[in-house]
Structure 1
């Protein structure tokens, strides 16, 4: 990026509000994952890989809690990476890499991580890639390190209630959009594309992600992810957090 964004805090705020409208319990899942980082880390300098980290939302929250933390944000989206780089500046490392390519690990700093966290990102990958990625993530963790993935993961035992929860969430979301309390996903990207500093990044993004990119979503239950973590070699795996139809699974190396 040739220059930092002029208003990175404002862009981060707009992103957070847009995301919170989509996931009202977004901060709760972040807090649960950061508590896991604190639990496995000695001292106040945790080493975090913010996987598919977008604007660096998780990293910024970790730095607010542990100012001496060492964070690496990895993503492929040019717009979100520009925001992450502008927000983090010299407080972290930003890596451009494609998680569909097993070679993504070659772009990381050599030191192993205490924690790898990701949120609402891996459901764009096919199942065989997610399983392989879990094993790759394990390799970049130190012994005793933790991995957590928060995403859409329904409870198989509550199909009827899950449907009602989704409908309720959608009504609340649409009300926020209608009143202007938050920006919708399409509208946020329109604003980013109209910004003088982000416009070129938005064009680059359109080349990376075809128009039908978000047509594919693979959303298995949390039990699938727990079993995939065990298959990947994590010595412990389970559900760290649940909120309605979303959950965070965690694996301990």
Structure 2
């Protein structure tokens, strides 16, 4: 943790309300977010059945874990993240649920996998998180993930993946999307900055929020390579097959099978 203090999960907060407000904030950026999660879980079921052992990578508030367990009550999940504020919400939301474990770890630390409770997983899932990494550390992370996924298991990454060969399409899509976002914001939707401002004012989350900004700063300066890059890098990391299984105009879901 490089000297960063880990905040204990506090009691007395309405963790479910914070979880839901995070979802609404993320949906402001990605209105088709739930469809993306549905396809992700469809593919988990197709490859691993209804009782998978899942690693929720860069789990945040536990959005994937929440949907996983509602759909597959016999699944188990390990959530891993470094963000103390989002982990506080996740731990509070799932407090007492023996199916769920949370681990504080930095995915850029080569030894982060040693903190996990299992050596292998049926599925490793992540969404809207790994664009915080530059391509070189992301490729290294993919190599580690290749060692965590069991034979026949899957890895899925849902994120912004930009094809630089289509600048006109990219510009038109972005302009159209931001017009809709502006309308929603005028109607009261919270963006990233406004959501974090509320967290910073909350008596329970203020401390963890200050810690997370000390760790990360305002936002990522990572990369958003193309779908083709992700698929090729995953194949080079030990996966037999990799390709997108869902896409919106702005996001893609890449699946890799061991």
Taking structure 1 as the reference length, the TM-score comes to 0.94
**Matching of residue 101 in structure 1 with residue 106 in structure 2:** no
Alpha carbons of structure 1 residues 5 and 236: separation in structure 2 relative to 1, 3 Å: farther
Equivalent pair of 1:135/1:232 in contact (CA under 8 Å): yes
- Measured after TM superposition, the shift of residue 8 of structure 1 is 1.2
Partner of 1:75: 81
Equivalent pair of 1:154/1:247 in contact (CA under 8 Å): no
Instruction: Choose from 246, 249, 255 the match for 1:250.
Output: 255
Equivalent pair of 1:138/1:232 in contact (CA under 8 Å): yes
Partner of 1:59: 65
SS of the equivalent of 2:94 reads helix
Equivalent pair of 2:10/2:88 in contact (CA under 8 Å): no
> For structure 2, which runs of at least 5 residues remain unmatched after alignment?
1-7
- Measured after TM superposition, the shift of residue 101 of structure 1 is 1.0
Within-5 A mapping of 1:27-38: 27-38=34-45
Tell me, in whole angstroms, the C-alpha distance in 2 between the residues paired with 1:127 and 1:158: 20
Tell me, in whole angstroms, the C-alpha distance in 2 between the residues paired with 1:24 and 1:48: 25
SS of the equivalent of 2:95 reads helix
Partner of 2:22: 15
Equivalent pair of 1:239/1:249 in contact (CA under 8 Å): yes
Partner of 1:218: 223
**Matching of residue 176 in structure 1 with residue 184 in structure 2:** yes
SS of the equivalent of 2:51 reads coil
- Measured after TM superposition, the shift of residue 48 of structure 1 is 0.7
Tell me, in whole angstroms, the C-alpha distance in 1 between the residues paired with 2:120 and 2:226: 29
**Matching of residue 190 in structure 1 with residue 222 in structure 2:** no
Partner of 1:117: 125
Tell me, in whole angstroms, the C-alpha distance in 2 between the residues paired with 1:146 and 1:5: 37
SS of the equivalent of 1:55 reads coil
**Matching of residue 134 in structure 1 with residue 171 in structure 2:** no
SS of the equivalent of 1:89 reads coil
Alpha carbons of structure 1 residues 5 and 47: separation in structure 2 relative to 1, 3 Å: farther
RMSD: 1.4
- Measured after TM superposition, the shift of residue 4 of structure 1 is 3.5
Tell me, in whole angstroms, the C-alpha distance in 1 between the residues paired with 2:165 and 2:217: 36
Instruction: Choose from 149, 158, 169 the match for 1:150.
Output: 158
- By percentage of residues, which structure has more helix? 1
SS of the equivalent of 1:101 reads coil
Taking structure 2 as the reference length, the TM-score comes to 0.92
The number of equivalent residue pairs is 249
